Amino acid sequence: MMNAKTFRSSSGLTGAVTYYILERQNDDGGYTFCQFSESSAQDTYYALEILNALGITPRRPEMTAKFLQGLQNDNGSFDSVKVAYYVINALSMLGGFEPVRLGRDAMEFIRRVAEGIGAQDACVELISEIEAVYQAVNVLKTLNLPMDREKIVKHVLELRNDDGSFGRKRDSRIASTHYALMTLKALDQDLNEFLKTRDWIKSCEVPDGGFVGAPDLSPGYLLMEDIYFGVESLECLGAACSFPNEALRRIAWFQNRNGGFRRSELMSISEFESTYQALSCISSILREKNAVRM
């Protein structure tokens, strides 16, 4: 989670990012990373996260809330756990609007996903099966709904590999490791024992700045999401980047002229999610650097 005070202290790029976000709000109140395309739950969520971190009041919050509320089906369900996660958290950030009430079947489905039942099929767009678990846990916790915490923790720990990483898919281990740690943290688990996991994440770090998805992958070019997963996972474990200045310089290369950040070091368009990830990394790194100085 970005810290507004910490991030605004680095304010050289906040104006460009703010303009990039605000110019992509549609007439329905929602947001889209690409102008003249339809609003989405994901982009609206990340837009609000970014504006909140920058201390910017969103425009037309009533319209945004109406757009988000319209994404819930008449029976109280959502098209996916992912949409439910974005809508519920976005409405929570807006504040002052009627909270979401899940239908009975929707509630049961989300509980099952949280326990790892059908998590891989919860949304084909997820980059890790544990991402679905984390999102389901977040939804239940945000809405103060009951869940079997012991069963969820047991499921997540069963996905821990001998090297300390998490996940079944070899090409998404840093993502799975991040979401596993975030899930355990949300369930108030003690993470002090995960020293092997910390060391595994450190082995993904690149001396030139940033992280790769797994230790055996080439650092030829990096993805913003892998840097984010590395930085935030270490912070979750009470650790920090070994090369903070290099990481900040590396992240700066991801920013496009329109103020947004792209997913890949190679040429690509700006995205709200990548912009959020970049700003979150910057905030975390600067916060740690300030803490060390103090």
pLDDT tens for 56-91 read 999 999 999 999 999 999 999 999 999 999 999 999
**Shared-domain flag, residues 130 and 153:** yes
On whether both 237 and 264 belong to a single domain, the answer is yes
Q: Which two tokens stand for residue 252?
A: 């700066």
Is the same domain home to 267 and 202? yes
- Same domain for 219 and 184: no
Distance CA 42, CA 44 (A): 5
Q: Phi first, then psi: what are they for 162, rounded to 5°?
A: -60, -30
Residue 92 and residue 165 share a domain:
no
Token pair listed for 110: 């989300």
0.85 exceeded by pTM: yes
Q: Do 87 and 145 reside in the same domain of the chain?
A: no
Last residue of a domain, one of 49, 74, 101: 101
Q: Which of 170, 189, 208 is the last residue of a domain?
A: 189
Same domain, 85 and 140: no
Q: Which domain holds residue 84?
A: 1-101
For tokens 């002090």, name the residue: 192
Number of domains the chain contains: 3
How many other C-beta atoms are found inside a 10 Å radius of the C-beta of residue 14? Answer: 18
When pLDDT is cut at 50, 70 and 90, the band that residue 35 belongs to is: confident
DSSP-assigned letter for residue 220: S
Distance CA 181, CA 156 (A): 9
Reported as a single tens digit per residue, the pLDDT across 132-165 is 999 999 999 999 999 999 999 999 999 999 999 9
> Structure tokens of 35?
């102008």
Of 84, 101, 118, the position where a domain reaches its end is: 101
185 & 208 share domain: no
Question: Is the same domain home to 4 and 30?
Answer: yes
